[in-house]
Structure 1
Amino acid sequence: MTAAPTVLPDSGDLSPYVHRVLPRSSGLFWDGRWHEGAGQAIATFNPSTGERLAEVASPASAEVNAAVASAKAAFPAWAGTPPLQRAALLREAARRVRLHSRELALLDAANCGNPVRAMQMDAEIAATQLDYFAGLVLEIKGETIPTANGALNYTLREPLGPVARIFPFNHPFMFAAGKIAAPLAAGNTVILKPPEQAPLSTIRLMEILDGLFPPGVLNCIAGGRDTGAALSAHPDVEAVALIGSVGAGKAVLRSAAETMKRTLLELGGKNAMVIYPDADLPSAVEGAVRGMNFTWCGQSCGSTSRLYVHRSLHDEFMQRVTEELARKHRPGIATHLDTTMGAMASRAQYDRTLHYIQAGIDEGATLLTGGRAARDAQLKDGLFIEPTIFTGVRPDMRIAREEIFGPVLSVFSWDDEDRMLAEVNGTELGLTASVWTTSLNAGLRAAKRIQSGYVWVNECSVHIPGAPFGGYKQSGVGREECKEELLEFTQLKNVNVKLG
């Protein structure tokens, strides 16, 4: 049994409790044991306050090799474990995640800057993914193929081997817990590589799950880009699944090419939200603010950061959006339960966002609101940027074309549907999109024509368990959160048996 979770208050500032929930371990876990790191330790900070939280071990190449060797050695027995036994362990992992959800949420709030109350939803999402894929273990099956020669021909789906899962800083423990589900359910072993900016909740998760899976089945090696690159290139890693930037995805593809390993990539987005003239205004206004994910400071690859508003209602719509934004989101200390918008995850993200805001001003966009660091004296030591909206944006501007990964919304007005949809599709990315209209024909027409892997009509941001999530164009390879993700971690074998 795991230790009882830390008891936390239901209101107020949880900052005094952060040090009670910090992990006690190093950040390197394989073969069922914790290890020290021979690489240079990585300091990790609280982006709301600048406080140094911990130093996390980093592996040298020998330790990366040891972690992979552990996963490889554990693979045959885990692949041979009856599927329902694997499912039972995944369900127990889900139970533990729910049990410790508040302390994991607090750790992420302190380490990645997202509001603690919102991060509690991440625990439920992760636990749901564990339960969902536990329920699919019996769907890893083949089929029989008719033959004309009296033979029996059938297929088998078999696991791949050690799988590396590399994920970013915006939802660390949700990705850590939720993304082990599909490969483990399919019979693979897993090596997690948490984000160097916010590794603490993943390390704590490994402590919570310690002893649940057989040694070597679930492993974790913290570290920087070099660690991720070493896993991507390792000849004994059979698949790499990455959630990250387009640049990181291309680097993984280049490394994976040397050994022809499988890849599953959920990459960046410059996602569009389209407001038709007949849209229900109150719902669409709320959706425009929610879809931008200001709660996470826009640090979400699914954020609808390009807003296309029909010219006939542009001014009224933007006035309402500005009022809705002011009412709902103002930067605050992420570990306070009343905070609805946190801090940027790192100094690099903070500086990058301010750079793009200046680029928008320099290129002639109109700054409607925000556009600077938060001015509240209580936030002076943190990485806070006001929620920012630009209007009068042109398709050739950098803020219109490049993923900022910050709280910056670019607004366009339109009156010609064909031209608007051409502009919506005029980027190299195509992850999500959102369309708001009361016309069924217009909604379905736009959903058909928009080049994105996940399209909402009169909705945004919601993910449905079992619905394939992934991108078109350079926004990714493969699909997650569905049966297809499970099958991504299998390989198909054909068997032909001559009878008689």
Structure 2
Amino acid sequence: MASAPFIDLVAPNGVKYAQPTGLFINNEFLLSADGSSVDSIDPATEEKIATVQAASVADVDNAVKAARKALKGPSWKLLSASDRGALLYKLADLIEENRELFATIDAWDNGKTYLEALENDLVEAVGVIRYYAGWADKVFGQTISTTHQKFAYTIRQPVGVVAQIIPWNYPLSMATWKLGPALACGNTVVLKTAEQTPLSILVLGTLVKKAGFPPGVVNFLNGLGNVTGSVLVSHPLVDKVAFTGSTATASAIMGAAAKTLKNISLETGGKSPLIVFEDAEMEQAVKWSHLGIMSNQGQICTATSRILVHERVYDEFLAKFLETTKSTSKVGNQWGKDTYQGPQVSKAQYQRVLDYVNIGKGEGATLAFGGEPLNINSNGKGLYVSPTVFTNVSPSMRIWQEEVFGPFVVISKFADEDQAVALANDTTYGLGAAVFTTNLERAHRVAAEIEAGMVWVNSSQDCDPRVPFGGVKQSGIGRELGEAGLEAYTQIKAIHVNMGNRL
């Protein structure tokens, strides 16, 4: 296959760099076998940034076979666990050295603010890779006592070739969440980028090669989900699928994986509740509530998009929340130092938010703030939506039940703790939840009762590489991050040894 070119780009903030445009397979950037491509669009201007190659069926097969060959090859299979960790440490150092470049690319490609990408996403990406670099030589089995004539032990081995599919809301961070534990455990990877935001992952490919990973260990494919993603998930040589994205897509992946009983882990949607009790520290509850739904343009799987407030403090909370939204949520291009909310990632996501505004109005909810497209640019271009707040919402409404994935929040009231928990659990999702109270007993009691994989007490959106991340119900299967994240990428083999028992 022919090599794909690098193109010279200059980002709106003046950063100049060489952008790979190909499929990263076997440590090389290649052209698509059938000439397919996808365009990366700047959501602030709706102008094309770059065109990258999109993987065909043949390209997916090429990548998976490269990963399979690397899995069995001595340069990876026989590499010591400590040396695998050293490669990951090297990759983390290279990412950190290029943090301004990665922040620039993800801001340009995604629409998130440059400061958000630099101060949060890049810190997390580097931290996750370093965390799993440290785990590489600390994954081990156990010995099991049976009888004096028998001996048994277990070893943990890599699952094999892993297909990883990441979302567009945190491109680099989500890639590291999956690459870190998979590589630490000795797997090989074929990772599909999000079609909306492929650019930073392709640049990461240059660092994978520079760090010294053997060819085929890490492969990156671009392409549409219903083409490249579907072929990748169904490939017979793929042993595991790890996916982050919508619940609907996860359901389709689960069905495809079931045909060959592939190992799967899924992190999907959410409609996370945030409960404010009457004894909450009000200023903190308002600030965390605002961050929990309006940061990153509301494009967060754990976004606390349903706020439940005790009836005694409801009016006070609502007034302060609306004031904070008005004063804090400045909408503008991703390069402005005072911009809080950039454009939505794509035309489809922009329209989805506006569609749910109309749905909420039609259902009889009260539009308390926002809900409008914004003309930030003089030419009318740009996928900007004002932060949106609905009140007088009932659990039967679609805007209460369905994930919008934008700066869109519903606020309701409750009378007592039992009702708060019932309302919080009135959803098919179960990813995150938050509880604001100064009553320690109630905090732990409610946290235990909420049906979610994660609960924050007096904060929102806390995330740490050392702490497991994942959901229940239709928010996913399995866990990422922490020691629990390693379990998704190893399989246990039991070995029985006869020490003299004779038949």
TM-score by length of 2: 0.94
CA distance in 1, matches of 2:321, 2:61: 52
CA RMSD after TM alignment? 1.5
Q: Secondary structure at the match of 1:434?
A: strand
8, 14, 22: which one aligns with 1:17: 14
Map 1:180-329 → 2, pairs under 5 A = 180-211=179-210, 212-225=212-225, 226-292=227-293, 294-329=294-329
Cα offset, 1:150, TM superposition:
1.5
AA in 2 matched with 1:184: L
50, 71, 75: which one aligns with 1:54: 50
Q: Secondary structure at the match of 1:202?
A: helix
CA deviation map 1:233-283 (0-9, x unaligned):
111111111110101111111111111111111110000000000000011
Q: Which residue of 1 aligns with 2:90?
A: 92
Q: Check conservation: 2:40, 2:51, Cα contact below 8 A.
A: yes
Closer, same or farther: CA 274–378 of 1 in aligned 2, 3 Å: farther
Q: Check conservation: 1:295, 1:342, Cα contact below 8 A.
A: no
CA deviation map 1:8-43 (0-9, x unaligned):
9xxxxx61525x2351x2230111211101242111
CA distance in 1, matches of 2:457, 2:379: 37
Q: Which residue of 2 aligns with 1:26?
A: 21
Q: Which residue of 1 aligns with 2:135?
A: 136
Closer, same or farther: CA 100–178 of 1 in aligned 2, 3 Å: farther
AA in 1 matched with 2:42: N
Q: Check conservation: 1:140, 1:487, Cα contact below 8 A.
A: no
Q: Secondary structure at the match of 2:190?
A: strand
Q: Secondary structure at the match of 1:419?
A: helix
Q: Check conservation: 1:177, 1:205, Cα contact below 8 A.
A: no
Cα offset, 1:416, TM superposition:
2.8
Cα offset, 1:445, TM superposition:
1.3
CA distance in 2, matches of 1:91, 1:208: 12
AA in 1 matched with 2:348: A
Q: Which residue of 2 aligns with 1:176?
A: 175
Q: Secondary structure at the match of 2:332?
A: coil
AA in 1 matched with 2:244: I
Is the counterpart of residue 113 in structure 1 residue 111 in structure 2?
Answer: yes
CA distance in 1, matches of 2:475, 2:417: 24
Q: Which residue of 2 aligns with 1:3?
A: none
Structure 1 segments (4+ residues) deviating >6 Å: none
CA distance in 2, matches of 1:379, 1:389: 27
Q: Check conservation: 1:332, 1:379, Cα contact below 8 A.
A: no
Which shifted more, 373-382 or 152-161?
Answer: 373-382
CA distance in 1, matches of 2:99, 2:327: 28
Q: Structure 1 vs Structure 2: percent identity of aligned residues?
A: 37
Is the counterpart of residue 416 in structure 1 residue 416 in structure 2?
Answer: yes
Q: Secondary structure at the match of 1:474?
A: helix
Which shifted more, 33-42 or 310-319?
Answer: 33-42
Q: Check conservation: 1:333, 1:379, Cα contact below 8 A.
A: no
Q: Secondary structure at the match of 2:441?
A: helix
Cα offset, 1:478, TM superposition:
0.4
Cα offset, 1:44, TM superposition:
1.4
Q: Secondary structure at the match of 2:491?
A: strand
Q: Secondary structure at the match of 2:14?
A: helix
Gaps of 5+ in 2: 1-7
Gaps of 5+ in 1: 1-5, 9-13
Q: Secondary structure at the match of 2:307?
A: strand
Q: Which residue of 1 aligns with 2:101?
A: 103
CA distance in 1, matches of 2:379, 2:224: 28
Q: Check conservation: 2:343, 2:382, Cα contact below 8 A.
A: yes
Which shifted more, 38-47 or 234-243?
Answer: 38-47
Q: Check conservation: 1:389, 1:409, Cα contact below 8 A.
A: yes
Map 1:347-386 → 2, pairs under 5 A = 347-378=347-378, 380-386=380-386
CA distance in 1, matches of 2:160, 2:222: 21
Aligned residues: 486
CA distance in 2, matches of 1:29, 1:297: 30
Q: Which residue of 2 aligns with 1:161?
A: 160
Q: Which residue of 2 aligns with 1:467?
A: 467
Q: Secondary structure at the match of 2:191?
A: strand
Is the counterpart of residue 344 in structure 1 residue 327 in structure 2?
Answer: no
Q: Which residue of 1 aligns with 2:3?
A: none
AA in 1 matched with 2:26: D
CA distance in 2, matches of 1:450, 1:380: 44
AA in 2 matched with 1:46: D
CA deviation map 1:188-247 (0-9, x unaligned):
011110000111111111123324211001111111111111111111111111110101
Q: Check conservation: 2:132, 2:180, Cα contact below 8 A.
A: yes
CA distance in 2, matches of 1:377, 1:132: 42
